[in-house]
Structure formats: structure tokens, C-alpha cells
Chain A
Amino acid sequence: MSALLLKDYYVLWKQMRFFLIAILVFSAIPGGYNMVFAVTYAALLPYSCVAYDERSKWDQLAAMMPYSVRDLVLSRYVLGWISGAGACFFSLILQAAFGLLFHYAASPAALVVAFFTCVSTLAITLPLIFRFGVERGRLIMFLIIFLACGSAGALGGIVEGSDGILPAAVWLVVPASLVLTAISVPLSIRWYARRSR
């Protein structure tokens, strides 16, 4: 799987520098909504890799190489988790730094919600990509990401008036993302194997 992740890293670094910079910019803007947006935006990176692979027909070559279907599928999830975690990390660093300068407090709970929203988004959308392909799957994916970001915005508005909602959201989103992922990975493996044959 490390080979696949390395390949994705090379592709992303060459193709997606502006995308990565956008994630950093959103990470730096104060507020839970922007953080969720940055992290969810980072969750888009695996879809870009799938699209590039389809365009270069790498997936056809990969089918001839000693990669298991499990590794081909799981590498997309791992890439999404690493991207989301990376966005969270940079968000934490940048918000802490700006917080010191401009006297506001970064919210670790918002980061946890952001990361697990990213995990949930991946869990819901990746099987669709493997089932329908990037072109058709992308429409559904954007709808789900729009809902995730919209919910985060609404939640962010409520949180400003209430201290108790964010910790409650953590308790909701963490188990939900784990359950969704546990269902999503086997489903993706099954659909990927079926679609590639």
C-alpha cells in the first residue's frame, strides 16, 4: 500500500499545489466552520487521485501488478485520513499561532468534529466513487460535502451561543464515523472488485 500512497503523493504534489494552499488558507481562518471546510476539502484529495488514475489508465496497469483489491481501495481511505489529519494539524498550529496574536482561543473539540466529519464524508462517498466511477460519483459526493459543510456552518452558529453543543457533537460524530467506515470499507472493496471485472 505504501507504493500506492507514494504514487498519490507525487501526483497530488505536482497537480494540486493550489488545492493544498487553499486548504492551508481555510485552516488559518478562525472559526469552526472554516476548519470543517478545510478538513472536508482535504477529504476531496482521494477523489482527485482516482480521477487522475482513470485518466492515465493507471488503474488498468495496477490490476496487472501485485496490488490486492483491498490495498487499492484502502489506500484511498488512508490517503483521505492522512489528508484530513494533516489539515487538522495545520489548522491547529495556525489557529494557535493566530490565537496568540489576535487573542482568541482555538477549539480542539471543533478540530475533532472536523476530522471525524471528514472520515464520515469519506465513508459515505468513496463507495459511490468505486461503484459509479468518478464522473457520476462526483455529483453525489458534492451533495454530501455540501450537506456536511452546511451542517457545520449551522452548528457553528448554534455553538457560538452555547458551550455544550460541540462536546455533544464529538460524542455523536466519532462513533458515527467509525460505524460508517466499518460498513464503507468492505462495501468499497466489493464494488471495486465487481466494477473492475
Chain B
Amino acid sequence: MNAIALHHICKSFGSFAIDDLTLEVPEGTICGLVGENGAGKSTTIRLLMNALRPDSGTAAVLGVDTASPEFLAVKEDIGVVMDEAYFPEVLSAAQVGRVMAKTYRRWDDAQYRQFLDRFELPEKKAFKDYSRGMRMKLAIAVALSHYPRLLVLDEATAGLDPIVRDEVLDIFSDFTRQEDHSILISSHILSDLEKLCDYIAFLHQGKLLFCEEKDALLDRYAIFSGTADQAESLEADAVVGREDRGYGGVRCLVRRDGVPATLTLERPTVEDVILFLVKGVKLR
């Protein structure tokens, strides 16, 4: 079963549109949603949570059509962290916990308090006095304290210091040890996604350019570093993107199957692939 299945979703806002978006995230996997600012990541998340109604297309989460009345019950199984933690500013962490206890049937207060301790979040301090990192940690604590089967994380690691970010990524990774647990995470920190994700989905100007297994993606492409003359000798179709590095040197993202096997190539990072696709001379 797919944890998330968006089929031919279109949503227009006039100057910006999500265009024929089809995205499937298999259950038990972690999918990273990548794209520039304004590419449509947050809109996609709002569409799959039925906070926005698509102009056309269908969306299903955990096997339930998001437009159906049954989807309300499915939201119990989804933990959401948005790009900012939007709790009322005057509430303290303890009060947020009490409100959430009345929101989620499976709310586990002991677990919530464990997360507050682990993240060193003061229970009595008003939310408005939290730093951005503390706010995000509170949102993550809430998302994880009602036994969700799916986590939907929109820039959830933004604003966290590297140590806490690493800890949070471990928590997310542990979360998917249960085979029916899945995560959709959008982030600008591509190294986080590389560490965490099984699948990478790339949105560009409202269109999904690809969604595929991370390992397959990194196996398909390679980095060639050499001279401009060497790069010119490569088959044009094999070169996905190219950047000049000065003194006649170039760095190219190439398709492995389009270049000679004898050529010395490096394994790319997800960041390499995405940056070349966005900024490179060529787009697929």
C-alpha cells in the first residue's frame, strides 16, 4: 500500500500552479521532497492533508481518499510539523500538551513529557519566548506523541542546531523501523535528506521532475571533473549539467550509461544532482 498517493493533482493560484502532480510514497519508506523556495512543497503538503482542495486530481493518504469524510479519522494517524510551529503564542508546552490530549485519542502524555525532557524544553515558559529551534522541537514532540503512522514534515529540521538536528534525524529514522511507518519530509538541507531518505522527489516550479529511489538516482548519475576539452568530447545527451571551475576546468553531472566506462567518475550527492538540475546549463 502507498502511504501517500497523489494522482494528477492540479491547483492554480493565478501566478503559481501545481501542475499534474503525481507522487506515490510506499508505506514503510521515507520520501524527501526537494525544491527551491516557492516550488510548491508546502502547497503539496497542504493538498495531501486536505487543507487545500485541488482543482482536479485525487489524493489518498494511508489508503483513504483525503476528500472523504473518513479522512478526518486518518488525521489521528498523521503527525505534522510545518515550516513554523503555529501554536498560540501565549500557551506553554504544558498547556499545548493538555490541548493535544483532547485532540488526539491516542495522545501519550508520558511520551510527550519524555520528549520535552529530551529536547530540554521548559514546560511553563510561554511559546512566544521560545527560540525558533525550541519551537520546532515542540512541534516535533507533539507530532510524535500520538502514535502516528505517517509523519509529514515541512522543513522540520530548519532552525535546529547540528547536534539536535542529528538527534532528530535519528528519531525520524527510528520511527520508520516499524514497517508500516512512513515519512514525507521537505527540507532545504539536502545532506539531511541524503542521510534519511529512501526516495527523493524533486519539485520545480510546481511540477514534479522526478520521484525515485535515492540509491537508483545516485547510481544513474555521476560527477565528471576534467578539462573543458574532455567535457566537450562527451556525448551531449549524457551531460545533464555543467559548471566551469576556472583555469579551463569543468565539473559535469553525467548519466553513467551515456559515458565510457573507462572515464573516472565520482559518485554524486543528492545535492549535486539537484543543484545541477536546477542551475545546470541543461535541464532534463
Contacts and interface: CB of A to CB of B under 8 A. Distances in A.
Given A6-B98, A7-B99, A11-B91, A60 B80 contact: no
A7 to B, nearest CB: 5
Interface in B134-166: 152
Nearest to A57: B86
B72 A68 contact: yes
Interface of B: 46, 49, 51-53, 72-73, 75-76, 78, 80, 82, 84-91, 95, 98-104, 126, 152
B99 A58 contact: no
B86 A56 contact: yes
Contact of B86 (A10, A58, A68, A197): A58
Contact of B84 (A7, A57, A64): A57
Interface in A48-74: 52-53, 55-58, 60-61, 63-68
Given A65-B80, A66-B76, A68-B72, A6 B87 contact: no
Contacts of A151: none
Given A6-B99, A65-B103, A196 B51 contact: yes
A3 interface: yes
Contacts, number: 70
Contacts of A11: 88, 90-91
A162 interface: no
B82 A60 contact: yes
A55 B46 CA distance: 19
Nearest to A53: B88
Contact of B89 (A2, A6, A56, A61): A56
Nearest to A14: B90
Contact of A197 (B52, B88, B102, B152): B52
Contacts of A10: 88, 90-91, 95, 99
A11 B92 CA distance: 10
A64 B49 contact: yes
Contacts of A57: 84, 86
A64 B51 contact: yes
Nearest to B89: A56
